[in-house]
Amino acid sequence: MNRIVTAARGWIGTPYVHQSSVRGAGCDCLGLLRGVWREVIGPEPEKIPAYTMDWSEPQGEERLWRAGLEHLVPKALNDAASGDVLLFRMREASVAKHLGFQAEVGGEPSFVHAYSGHGVIESALGAPWARRIVARFEFPTETE
């Protein structure tokens, strides 16, 4: 089993709490990414400033995408692998601001994410979700 997927699945059942990143106590989608990073890689690469639920929308800034390009390794959208970080655009013409981890690939793909009203869950990565993916990344390796 991929160590990133194992770590992400360890967060399943964590309640959704905006701006948090504590397994079992609460996290949002960015908090899940931060927590898995800490478990798999170590200390976070930068301090995350406080943010509102609509952060970066009024300015139209792709902050998560930029952060992904800075701290993660970009991949082709069609190069799916377990453990990939997925960036989603939830509404057309809005900024991309939802994250998850590809868990399963192939015939029944799935992803782990922190979802408002549900907490951390593993969801089927069917067409309604897949069409919202705008970027795919992988965690850097120790040699990068």
What is the mean pLDDT of the segment spanning 22-45?
96
Domains within the chain, CATH numbers bracketed: 3-138 (3.90.1720.10)
- Tell me the C-alpha distance between 79 and 114, whole Å: 23
pLDDT at 144: 42
Q: Please say if the pLDDT value at position 126 is more than 50.
A: yes
pLDDT at 77: 96
pLDDT at 141: 83
> What are the E-state strand segments in the chain?
21-22, 26-27, 73-75, 85-88, 98-104, 110-115, 119-124, 133-138
Name the pLDDT band for 134 (thresholds 50, 70, 90).
very high
Cα–Cα separations (whole angstroms), residue 34 to 20, 28, 127, 139: 10, 10, 27, 11
pLDDT at 95: 87
Q: Please say if the pLDDT value at position 3 is more than 80.
A: yes
pLDDT at 133: 97
Q: What torsion, rounded to 10 degrees, do the Cα atoms 117, 121, 124, 128 define?
A: 30
Predicted TM-score (pTM) of the model is 0.92
Token duo for residue 132 = 């919202």
Q: Are residues 80 and 109 in contact, defined by beta-carbon separation less than 8 angstroms?
A: yes
Cα–Cα separations (whole angstroms), residue 118 to 4, 12, 13: 21, 10, 9
Name the pLDDT band for 10 (thresholds 50, 70, 90).
very high
| pLDDT digit string, tens, across residues 42-85 | 999 988 877 766 666 656 678 889 999 999 999 999 999 999 99
pLDDT at 80: 97
